[in-house]
Amino acid sequence: MSKIILVTGASSGFGKAIATKFAAGGWNVILTARRKEKLDELAKALETTYGIKTLSLTFDVQDKKAVFDHLQNLPTEWQAINILVNNAGLALGRDSFENANLEDWETMIDTNVKGLLYASKAVLPMLIKEKGHIINIGSTAGKEVYKDGNVYCASKHAVDAISKAQRIDLLQYQIKVTAIHPGAADTAFSVVRFKGDAEKAKAVYNGYTPLMAEDIADTVWYVANTPAHVCINDLVITCTAQANSMYLQK
Ligand code: NDP
Ligand code: 8X3
């Protein structure tokens, strides 16, 4: 029987690439995000191209009730989840602490931290049964704080800490926990961060070759396919032009 992976934030960027990589490898995929039409389009393409099964669930990871309602009431044939990829997330704004918008801060914390906790908690009983794998998408922003990154960096530091905590507390269930921390990658991330300002977003990737979503999908595939006795705990990945959050050679 095919294995099952659940990817949050599957409508775009890393999540879409991860879902595609695993579908190509014969996995059945649970796709979640807020934009139903994007999920439906992807689901159809994956089923047609790779002959696998998909289940699309439309909800906001900030909405605790919606997360639990969807993930605790999966059809029986979708309950044997082997991998949860906590990928849904965003940055909003890049502003100095005194100028930053409180609502942006709340959205980042509610999505990147609380959303990840809700999804993990809702899926955990199924992962325990399957001796599964949690893969959390952090960031280089979760390793070093950079200027005007304040709460985005804090939210990704929280992902780093939660991943360590999950690894310790879930050891008793033989659940693998991997945190992947990418540097700059060319997805819709910057358009979202700069609230639709395409010029500002494009400038983030000018003058060097950034990571692509497929690089992260390849990395997730790698960490998911190590032998049963091997767990990649923590993996930082940047493009060759980037050393860490602060050093980028343009
Ligand atoms: P994208 O904007 O391309 O994708 C973000 C995904 O998250 C979308 O599918 C979006 O779906 C989903 N999402 C956002 N908010 C919510 C929400 N409240 N509820 C449900 N789903 C949500 O960006 P990336 O693919 O680049 O980002 C994916 C992850 O990678 C994020 O956690 C980001 O912080 C992290 N990251 C990105 C880097 C980069 O440079 N691109 C580098 C390091 C980490 P929808 O809008 O349909 O809900
Ligand atoms: C996204 C990468 O450098 O914008 O997490 O923080 S960065």
pLDDT tens for 121-139 read 999 999 999 999 999 999 9
Q: Does the pLDDT value for residue 88 go beyond 90?
A: yes
Q: Does the pLDDT value for residue 1 go beyond 90?
A: no
Is 152 assigned a catalytic role?
yes
CA distance 109 to 212: 25
- Contact between 143 and 244 under an 8 Å Cβ cutoff? The reply is yes
Q: Please identify which of the residues 50, 118, 146, 152 carries the catalytic annotation.
A: 152
CA distance 77 to 28: 11
Residues in the chain: 250
What domains are there in the chain, each with its CATH number? 4-237 (3.40.50.720)
**Coil vs helix vs strand at 89:** coil
Say what percent of the chain tops pLDDT 70.
Answer: 100
Burial of residue 98 (CB within 10 Å: 0-12, 13-18, 19+) is exposed
- Contact between 55 and 36 under an 8 Å Cβ cutoff? The reply is no
Pocket of ligand 1 (CB under 6 A): 9-15, 33-35, 38, 60-62, 87-90, 111, 115, 137, 139, 182, 184-185, 187-189, 192
- Contact between 30 and 5 under an 8 Å Cβ cutoff? The reply is yes
Give the model's pLDDT for residue 219.
99
Per-residue 3-state assignment (H helix, E strand, C coil) for 142-186: HCCCCCCCHHHHHHHHHHHHHHHHHHHHCHHHCCEEEEEEECCEC
Mean pLDDT over 198-216 rounds to 98
Nearest CA owner, ligand 1 atom 26: 189
**Which helix (H) or strand (E) covers residue 85, if one does?**
strand 83-86
Ligand nearest to the CA of 211: 1
**Coil vs helix vs strand at 83:** strand
Q: Comparing C-alpha atoms, which of 5, 32, 23 is closest to residue 88?
A: 32
CA distance 15 to 137: 10
Burial of residue 212 (CB within 10 Å: 0-12, 13-18, 19+) is middle
Nearest CA owner, ligand 1 atom 15: 89
Give the model's pLDDT for residue 5.
99
Only one residue has tokens 């900030």, namely 62
CA distance 142 to 158: 7
Give the model's pLDDT for residue 145.
98
Q: Does the pLDDT value for residue 2 go beyond 80?
A: yes
Pocket of ligand 2 (CB under 6 A): 139-141, 183-184, 245
Give the model's pLDDT for residue 53.
98
DSSP letter at 54? Answer: E
CA distance 35 to 150: 28
Write out the two tokens for 41.
């389009």
For ligand 2, the distance from its centroid to the CA atom of residue 141, given in whole angstroms, is 6
Using one digit for the tens of pLDDT, what is the confidence trace for 214-250?
999 999 999 999 999 999 999 999 999 999 999 999 9
Nearest CA owner, ligand 1 atom 21: 33
